[in-house]
Amino acid sequence: CAFREVIKNEGFTALYRGLRVTLLGIMPYAGLSFTTYHTLKAQAVSRWKLNSERDIPRGYSVAFGGIAGLVGQSVTYPLDIVRRRMQVSSGDQYRTIWGSLVQIVKNEGLRGGLYKGLSMNWIKGPIAVTISFNVNDFVKQLLRRVNDDTQLDIRSERLGEIESTTSVEALASGGLAGAISKTILAPLDMVKILYQVRPKWHFSVGQASRTAARVAEKGGLD
């Protein structure tokens, strides 16, 4: 069992390696994402002379959400690099957040180190948003046909109308949308992480594509 091996060889705290940098990145990521999202919606209402944010067309709301996510991910991406290095390192090489940041910049540079693989996020982000929103809406509509009895009314900002949605429907549709999105994009995540944790690997979208093809063909790396 992997859990037992880690605890036996490195101690129980090794299971939480990288947790501090994860928690550190949550606040700026969430703050930047929500700030960007609401700023874009406010600008749309002002420029298009709409009555409220509920009048913003659905497609634009989806696009605003995608842009907001990309901004948050891009700014906090270096912390994701540090987290990955801490999680896979068993020695003292990446013990502190600041020390890891300085070491990565010194040895690998800014673009090739702290922002290695960021372009993969830019490709993945819009796809994830598109899948999540559409699956979420499809599942909610499907569940409404199965069960017309509702327990909770949720006002949709995207559609600008009252949607009868039970708490179970909201949970099921949101969870399934996230699961499907993660499943479809798992190969991109896997390739990105391979480059994040290997300092000597030079990243480019073309090189990452060849790595993905090699992994798919051989079932792993050489």
The continuous run of DSSP H or E covering 142 comes out as helix 118-146
Q: Which of 133, 121, 131 lies closest to 182, judged by CA?
A: 131
pLDDT at 160: 44
Give the C-alpha separation, 26 to 49, whole Å. 34
Q: Give the 3-state secondary structure percentages of the chain, helix then strand then coil, rounded to 5.
A: 75, 5, 20
pLDDT at 101: 94
Contacts of 221 (CB under 8 A, 6+ apart): 194, 211, 214, 215
pLDDT at 107: 92
**The model's pTM:** 0.76
Tokens 């949308």 belong to which residue? Answer: 177
Q: How far is CA 8 from the centre of its chain?
A: 32
pLDDT at 157: 44
The series of mean pLDDT values per 10 residues for the chain, 222 residues long, is 77 80 88 90 92 86 87 92 87 85 93 91 84 81 68 45 61 87 90 88 86 79 58
Long-range CB pairs of 158-167, under 8 A, 24+ apart, other chains included: 158/56, 158/58, 158/61, 158/62, 158/133, 159/58, 160/54, 160/55, 165/140
Give the C-alpha separation, 203 to 36, whole Å. 28
The continuous run of DSSP H or E covering 27 comes out as helix 19-47
Give the C-alpha separation, 193 to 84, whole Å. 7
